Amino acid sequence: MNFNDINVISKLKYHKLKHMTHPEQILIAKPTFKLFLFHNKRNRLILYLSAAAIITQFAIFKYLYPFASYIHGDSFSYLGAAANNLTLNTYLIGYSKFLRVFNTFAKPDYTLVAFQYLFIQSSVLFLLFSIFYFYKTGQIIQNILLCFMVFNPLFLHLGNMVSSDGVFLALSCTWFALLLWIIHQPTKKIIFWQAIILLIAFTMRYNALIYPFIAGVAFWLSALPWKKKLAGVGLGLTLCGLFVGFTMYQYKKLTGYWQYSPFSGWQFSNNAMYAYRSVDSADRKPVPDKFRALDNRIRNFYYQTKNKAKFPTEQAEASTFYMWSPSMPLMQYRDSLFRKTKDSLAEFKKWASMGPFYKEYGLYIIRKYPGHFLMHFVWPNSRKYYAPPIEFLEEYNGGNDLVNMGTKEWFGYKSPKVKVRMGNKKVWVLNFYPILSGIINIVMLFGLFYYMLLKGWQYNSTFNKTIIMAGAVWLINACFTIFASSAALRFQSFPIILTTTFALLLIDWMIQLMRSMQLEAKSKQKAVLGLDNDIKESVLA
């Protein structure tokens, strides 16, 4: 039977399916994904209604927010790298390259944010319908998930922001959906496109560093021969490895050090400082000579800022103040080693040159005071991961009325002034997200616990593989974020969306399991009653 025969069977709504008894025949009769979307009346109606809702929402949103939103610092850095066609930047270069390519086709900012928003929505719907295609979900849970995704205000605000966060969310959802296809219905095209999407995501955000490990889990779960599994994993690793090698070579030429991410060095020192400040001055041990000048500067800073009422930044926990503020020891120590300059490229070189040293220092402090690190960075950061702060999404354009001149020129604004048609720039519509994240993390935790307790893998192998993938993303991302990164809503948008989806699917699975157990109990009861009746009839006879 070829694919045309499959399509015929699908279009005839499987009128012969009830006569099939062999499992392989039933497998062959499964419709293609295209038919599942467009020849299933319910799915087709959902897609049409979703498209209408998405377009209507975006039109209303752009009336209220006629200009794109910016993170002052991050967004302008991306645009500056795009304008100068840089191969290195403070952040990964992928989004800047995307902006440069997109700008050659469409200059106005509304075309960019429209693309970003539609990309997010399309990728999320692709993920949802891929799950529905492989695993039969109850209609109530389907409707809840579809409404949550289609009418999600987070997607509008991420799409409207000139930042890698929205595009990275869309790439991540698409990539995870492709992993599900690799597990359940792999083809060469899907394996190829998974590797391409993985590479693009890898150039966008450092969070993608964990993605090759998750892809390895997907290939391990798939039914592919081992040679094809290794080839699929190897293709993704090779592409990502080429990007890593190219980036390291560029940093070698710029700074003289082989490094992939100076950002990680600054991050390690920043994280270590939140632990180090909690160590009593009498208990701080001498450091190696190469760290002494920096360490003395940091200890002096702690002494001067003991009064937290006068220094409110010192009240923050597990934040990023230490790595960005010019008044903090890390920036001051860097400037003490280099001649001051206003040239942006020279500034970037100074910043990048400190990456290896700060990484070494940060790891030294963390290893020296592991208890303080766990108590004063990991624990506060885990609380932020549990309910991530809204951060820069809390206010449109960071509460500012202006953008820089480079942004004005890039998007062709008449003036650097941007505005909204709202009462103020506060984005109250996202205030529920920290609460939702906290609740959904608890539901996911207990859902996985009960899934293991009830030995869920015995009931449905398709769902079991899917839930393993979701659990892998949830756990690996949690460890990466809590121990080495910072937690915020825009950084955690993909894990939150994925966790919400699978927490609800676990609830649906438990409901279906209880129903099947009830039906089984009723059938056994009927069988017993029937046996009793047969016995009575035989006795009477």
The per-residue pLDDT for range 440-483, each reduced to its tens digit, is: 999 999 999 999 998 888 888 888 999 999 999 999 999 999 99
Q: The tokens 């106005």 sit on which residue?
A: 108
pLDDT value of position 9: 41
pLDDT-derived band at 211 (thresholds 50, 70, 90) equals very high
* Model confidence pLDDT, tens digit, residues 252-266: 999 999 999 999 999
Q: Which among 351, 386, 421 is the end of a domain? A: 386
Any domain includes 537: no
What pLDDT shows up at residue 456?
A: 84
Return the biggest CA–CA distance within the chain.
109
Kindly state whether residue 143 falls inside one of the protein's structural domains.
no
- The per-residue pLDDT for range 132-162, each reduced to its tens digit, is 999 989 999 999 999 999 999 999 999 999 9
Q: Taking the CA of residue 244 as centre, how many other CA atoms within 13 Å lie in the half-sphere pointing to its CB?
A: 13
Q: Please name the residue ranges forming H helices in 412-460.
A: 433-453
Q: Is residue 489 part of a domain?
A: no
- Indicate whether 50 pLDDT > 80: yes
The answer to whether the beta carbons of residues 54 and 121 sit under 8 Å apart is yes
Answer whether residue 84 is part of any domain.
Answer: no
Q: What is the pLDDT of residue 314?
A: 83
Question: At CB < 8 A and 24+ separation, what contacts does 141-148 make?
Answer: 141/504, 141/505, 141/507, 141/508, 144/504, 145/500, 145/501, 145/504, 146/46, 146/50, 148/500
Q: Does the structure show a pLDDT above 90 at 63? A: yes
Residue 520 — pLDDT band, cuts 50, 70, 90?
confident
Cα-to-chain-centroid distance, residue 110: 24
Distances (CA, A) of 130 to 42, 68, 183, 465, 496: 15, 31, 12, 14, 18
Number of folded domains in the chain?
2
- Give 101: exposed, middle or buried? Use CB within 10 Å, 0-12, 13-18, 19+: exposed
- Please check whether residue 400 lies inside any domain of the structure: no
Indicate if the pLDDT at residue 23 is higher than 70: no
Using CA atoms, how far apart are residues 228 and 34, in angstroms rounded to an integer? 26
d(C-alpha 484, C-alpha 357), whole Å: 17
Confidence of residue 538 (pLDDT cuts 50, 70, 90): low
Q: Which of 358, 386, 414 finishes a domain?
A: 386
Structural domain includes residue 213: no
Lookup result for tokens 């094809």: 228
Q: Which domain holds residue 294?
A: 262-386
Instruction: Indicate the pLDDT class of residue 309, thresholds 50, 70 and 90.
Output: confident
- Let me know if residue 367 belongs to a domain: yes
Q: How confident is the model at residue 2 (pLDDT cuts 50, 70, 90)?
A: very low
Asked, for residue 283, whether it belongs to a domain, the answer is yes
**Closest by Cα among 94, 315, 320 to 205:** 94
pLDDT tens-place string over residues 420-446 = 998 889 999 999 999 999 999 999 999
* Single residue among 386, 414, 443 that ends a domain in this structure: 386
Non-local (6+) Cβ contacts of 504 within 8 A are 141, 144, 145
Rounded CA-CA distance 243/491 in Å is 22
pLDDT of residue 150: 96
pLDDT, tens digit, for every residue of 90-113?
999 999 999 999 999 999 999 999
Global confidence as pTM: 0.90
